[in-house]
Amino acid sequence: MNILVTGGAGYIGSHAVLRLVEAGHFVHVVDNLDRGNRGAIETLGSIGGDRVSFTEMDIRDGAGLLETMRTHGIDSMMHFAALAYVGESVDEPLRYYDNNVVGSLSVINAALEAGIERFIFSSTCATYGEPSGRHLPINEDCPQNPVNPYGRSKLVTEWMLRDAAAAARKRSQPFAFAALRYFNVAGADEKTRIGEDHRPESHLIPICLEVALGKRDALTIYGSDYPTPDGTCIRDYVHVSDLVEAHLATIEALKPGEQLAYNVGIGRGYSVRECLEACRRVTGHAIPEKEGPRRPGDPPSLTADPARIEKDLGFKARFTELDEIIETAWRWYQAHPDGYDRA
């Protein structure tokens, strides 16, 4: 396949590009490098050779996207490009709607005009909001009631894809899509070729590892009074390599006209304190902690029921223990303490 990957210079997108190239596909990356890493593109180019190409472009440039798709003969795509910080989305909601919704509209329009047949959308468990206990762990039939602008922006994109696919079917256009709703993503390429490098970093496990490296003084635990066993938020952590394996399995199985949604996770949750203790075990560092207030828009508990994707596609996460997920991230940080050395 000739696959366009939006956001392919980012954390998840770059791992997807690496796996697609290893699977023998040709990949063209589109990224505006606002939060992506040029160093990731350079690394992927050195690995993939002529199987990887790159255009620096904002996804809201619909004409540019269409030209790129036609120039490279794109037949399939994975759409990762998005702003993805819950707290930031609460503070800057219109920025999120502009980038995530308007940007996705641009991408979908270009994909339909270019005749792309397979479209994988990077969605999120945040579209479910705060499910009640009877919906935990969360399956794909759980009501989608997001509680923050980030989750709402992703849900609107799912709606756009459903409506676009229904209209395409009436035109006998073989457009198919799958929305992969994943939970917290962690870890890094096992060979430490690429990894996680956000600036600023807001994710729990990388922050713990930055404390272990001496780049931060302490981990701040945002809220210790949630209705969970230890009072801190619980999340389902899926290894980034498992996540991109799910994307590969989905795009290769997607049939013309299909509209699919899959949860991707390991089926169990870990609390903030459990993650902190696991990082202490893996690194051998004390990792000091301090407490802060709750962050707006953070649900107490989100864990996946991944039974549907396992049943339909035979996909099952390889990394299921938190320590082994963190070990791959720790090796990346030790090998690349300054990330991709982005200026």
- Mark whether 150 is an active-site residue: yes
Beta-strand pair 52-56/26-31? parallel
- 150, 237, 333, 340: the active-site residue: 150
Alpha-carbon distance of 244 to 247, in angstroms, equals 5
223 backbone φψ class: left, alpha, beta (φ>0; ψ -120 to 50): left
Alpha-carbon distance of 42 to 81, in angstroms, equals 18
Return the axis-axis angle of helices 204-212 and 322-335, rounded to nearest 10°.
Answer: 50
Alpha-carbon distance of 96 to 323, in angstroms, equals 33
As annotated, the active-site residues are 150
